[in-house]
Amino acid sequence: MEAVSAIKPLIRVAALSGSLRKYSFSTGLLRAAIDLTRETVPGIEIEYIDISLLPLLNTDLEIDGTYPPVIESFRQKILEADSILFACPEYNYSVSAPLKNALDWASRAPNVWANKPAAVISTGGDCGGGRSQYHLRQIGVFLDLHFINKPEFTLNAFQPPQKFDEEGNLVDEAAKERLKQVLVSLQAFTLRLQGK
């Protein structure tokens, strides 16, 4: 009998942070996720997608079914990804304006979010951004995104021990392990939806 290969097919993950701040903890979570895939989660390649250059949604910018180059490039990266990883900060109990703007641009016809597996992670005070996650999941229903249900990842950034360094890098080992489990779950769910 042939040995079954333990190597999983490569999945490409587009990672978006809803925070534009230079030392954002949300973006720090994505950096940690990228590092984890290089070190301990083979079969995943994460590309950070910068949404800071996207103009505010304005359908006047759509001309004959085309979009400005920055929007076309962003939409193409989402389209080519096998799955999506959102780092979703909580602003006033909801998702941030930059993230909502990105969601809206990629939902314009044709909707490039459709049928994508996704995961959401967040950090902040109190409930660690959990309320924004539930709002994002609600938006995802309309966009036809398919979120993993477990494990959930919220992180209180201000409760000891220290979670992030001065440059917004995740330093808490327990949080890194929890983040790793999210990536493993996203990988398994993506492969399952792909029939692999």
Identity at 166, one-letter amino acid code: E
Output the furthest CA–CA distance in the chain (Å, rounded): 61
Q: Which of 32, 30, 33, 74 is nearest to 50 (CA)?
A: 74
pLDDT for residue 7: 65
Q: Give yes or no for a contact between 37 and 46, defined as CB atoms under 8 angstroms apart.
A: yes
Q: Tens-of-pLDDT digits for all 196 residues of the chain?
A: 344 445 667 999 999 999 999 999 999 999 999 999 999 999 999 999 999 999 999 999 999 989 999 999 999 999 999 999 999 999 999 999 999 999 999 999 999 999 999 999 999 988 899 999 999 999 999 999 999 999 999 999 999 999 999 999 999 999 999 999 999 999 999 999 999 8
Residue 101 CB neighbours (<10 A): 17
Is the Cβ–Cβ distance between 181 and 40 less than 8 Å?
A: no
User: What pLDDT was estimated at residue 8?
Assistant: 67
For the chain, give every domain's residue range.
11-58+67-193
Burial class (CB in 10 A: 0-12, 13-18, 19+), 39: exposed
Q: Which pLDDT value is given to residue 5?
A: 44
Q: pTM for this structure?
A: 0.94
By the 8 A CB rule, do 116 and 182 touch? no
The architecture of the domain spanning 11-58+67-193 is: 3-Layer(aba) Sandwich (3.40)
